[in-house]
Chain A
C-alpha cells in the first residue's frame, strides 16, 4: 500500500478519536438512561480548560485531568437536574450546551492562538512495525490507544460483567433494577459522571492533540452534535459507535481529497455540508427500517447475526425518571 493512503488512514483514525471517546462517554451515560445533550458545549469548555490548565502547568496530563473534571461537572449538573430536581434532561442539556460554549469563549479569551503543550505520537514498539496495521493504528498518541482500550473495555463491561448487567438494566428497566437491589439513581449519577469525564477527555483530545490549541470559534464546534448522532447510529453499542466515528472521520477526509482530484467538480462550499447530510442519512437509515429492508437482501445465514449487530433500540428508559417508592 502506498504511503499517502496509510498516512491518510492514520489521520482518519487520529481525527476520529475525540469523536470515539465522546460517543463512548455518551453511550455510557445513555445506557444508564440519562441523556446528556450538553456534549457540544461540554467538549468546547473542556477543550478550553484542558488547554489552559496544560499551558499554565506545562503539563498535558494536568490538562487532561482538568478537562475530564469539567466534563464530569457539566454531566453531573444534568444528572442532578434530572434526578434531584425532576427537570427535563433535554432542556437542561440544551441550556448547558449553549452556556458552556459561551463560558469557554469568555474565560478563554486571553488564551487564544498561543502555542501550548501538545500530546504527540508515541509509536508502540513492535506493533507499529506490523505492515499496514502498524502505521495506521499504532503510530498514534496515547489518547488513541486509550480509545481502543475504552471500546473493548466498555463492550466487556456492558455485556460480560455483572455490574454491566446493572448498568444496562437501569437504562432499560429501572424498576426491575431496583427490585434486584440496584441503586438506580446513584448508579445513574456515577455513569453520567463517568460518561461526562470521557466527554471532557474528548475535549482535551482536541485541544491538546487533534486540533491543538484554543481559538474562537472553537474548531471542534459541532462535533458534539455529531457524537450524539453517532451514539444513535451506533445503536448504543461500543463497536458500532467506533465504526460510526471512523466513518464520519473518513468522509470528512474525503471532502478534502475530492478537491484535489481533477475531474470532480462539486462546489467546494457545498462539499462542506457533507458530514451533515451524512448525519441525516445515517439517522434515516436506522430510524426508518431501511436497514431491515437492506438486511433482507443478505444471505440468510448472516442475516441473524447482522440484524443483531445492526439493531438499534434505544435503552427503553432513556430520558425517563425513576423514583423508588
Chain B
C-alpha cells in the first residue's frame, strides 16, 4: 500500500438519497476506480438534525486519524466550517463543493472549490418538459428561494418555453409554468411543505410534467404512482444520474452532476503533490454531455420521452452545444438572451442582448444573481 491515497467524503445527506449526496458518493467511487491506490472514507448525514453530536471538525479529525490526506466537503453548508477546520489541518487538502471562497480569495491555501454548471442541464430538462406537456402546464418543485434556485428554475422555464414554441409551434405565452417552493432542500416533516403533497397538487391542478429542483426524489415517485393509476403525467428528477430508476417509464430524463472526472483530477493531482488551489467549474463536455470520463454535468434522457421528442431534444442539445462552443458566448448561457424581464416587468436584458453569467451583485443584472423569477413564471420570487 505504498501507493495508497486516502481521501474523505463528507456528505450532508444519506449516501443513498438518489440525489445530491449520492452523486458525490458515486463520484468518490469513480475516483477509487480510476485513481490507482485511492481509497475513500465517507461520512453521511452530517447535519445538526441527523448528527447533533458531530461537527465537521470531529469528522475531519476522525478521517485524518484514519489517514485521509484530502477531504471533500460536499455541501455549501460546509463552506465556512471547511475554512475553519482547514486551518487546523494545514497538511490536508480540502475541497468544498459549491463554495466560492477560493474564487473570492478568502480561503486558506489548502482549500479549493468545485461546482458544476447545472444551468445547462436545467435548460435541457425544461425543453424536455416543454416538448412533452399535453396540458400546457408544467410544475417546478422548488426547494427554497435564493439566487441559485431562482436561476435554475428560470433556466428550466426558458428551455420549456423555447421548445414549446420552436418544436411544437405553440404559443409560448400559453405555457403555464408554476413554481412551488417547499421551503428547504429536502423534506423536513413538519417544517417544509411535503414534496409528495406538492407534486400531487401540481397534477391535481392540471400540470402534467413536474420538474424537481429538490435534493430528493418525491416528484418522480408521485408521478410514477399517478401514471400507474392511468394518468398521463411525467417527471424530471434532479442531481443524480440514476434518479430515473424510481419510475423509468414516466421519466423524461434527469439533469445531473457527474463529479467523478473532476474529483479524479483533483485527487490525482493531490496524490502527486501537484494540487493548486482553485475554483473549479465543471462544465458539460459538449461533444458528449453524458461521457462519464469527461463531462461534469449531464442530462440522460428518460424512457418517458417519446421518440420524436427525443430527436427534438437531441437537436436542442446540439444547438446548446453550438452556442456554448462559440467563443463569443463564453460568459453567458444559451437562451438567456433578451428580451428578458423579471416577474414584476423590470427588463434585465433588452432584445438581442445577452444576460451575463455573472456580474457584481447590485451593479448589473446577471444570471448568477437572478433577483426574481422571470416574467411568465407563476410563483413567488421572494421569501416574503
The short answer to whether A and B are in direct contact, CB under 8 Å, is yes
List A contacts of B192 (CB < 8 A).
272
Report the bound CA distance from A260 to B190 in whole Å: 20
CB distance from B270 to the nearest CB of A (A): 31
Is B314 among interface residues, defined by CB-CB distance under 8 A?
no
Is B78 among interface residues, defined by CB-CB distance under 8 A?
no
Q: Which of A226-281 contact B (CB under 8 A)?
A: 252-253, 255-257, 259-260, 262, 265-269, 271-272, 275-276
Interface residues on B, range: 35 or more
Report the bound CA distance from A120 to B222 in whole Å: 11
Q: A113-B217, A215-B216 are in contact. Are A272 and B191 (CB under 8 A)?
A: yes
Is B201 among interface residues, defined by CB-CB distance under 8 A?
yes
B379 with A115: CB separation less than 8 A? no
Chain B interface helix/strand/loop/mixed: loop
CB distance from B226 to the nearest CB of A (A): 9
List A contacts of B225 (CB < 8 A).
118, 120, 212
Closest residue on chain A to residue B194 by CB atoms:
A219
Q: Which of A109-123 contact B (CB under 8 A)?
A: 109-110, 112-115, 118, 120-121
List B contacts of A268 (CB < 8 A).
145, 181, 183, 193, 380, 383-384
Closest residue on chain B to residue A5 by CB atoms:
B204
A115 with B246: CB separation less than 8 A? yes
Closest residue on chain B to residue A266 by CB atoms:
B384
Report the bound CA distance from A212 to B200 in whole Å: 12
Closest residue on chain B to residue A44 by CB atoms:
B189
B49 with A217: CB separation less than 8 A? yes
A112 with B384: CB separation less than 8 A? no
CB distance from A246 to the nearest CB of B (A): 14
B380 with A256: CB separation less than 8 A? no
B384 with A253: CB separation less than 8 A? no
Count of chain A residues with a beta carbon within 8 Å of a chain B beta carbon: 46
Report the bound CA distance from A110 to B44 in whole Å: 13
Is B187 among interface residues, defined by CB-CB distance under 8 A?
yes
List B contacts of A4 (CB < 8 A).
204-206
Is A23 among interface residues, defined by CB-CB distance under 8 A?
no
Is B221 among interface residues, defined by CB-CB distance under 8 A?
yes
Partner pick for B224 among A110, A115, A218, A271, CB 8 A cutoff: A115
List B contacts of A114 (CB < 8 A).
246
List the 6 shortest-distance A-B pairs measured between CB atoms, nearest first: A7-B204, A222-B190, A221-B189, A267-B384, A113-B18, A222-B189
Given contacts A11-B204, A212-B225, A256-B198, 5 further A-B pairs with CB under 8 A are A121-B229, A216-B14, A221-B190, A222-B189, A222-B190
Taking beta carbons and an 8 Å cutoff, which residues of A are in contact with B?
A: 3-4, 7-8, 10-11, 15, 109-110, 112-115, 118, 120-121, 210-213, 215-223, 252-253, 255-257, 259-260, 262, 265-269, 271-272, 275-276
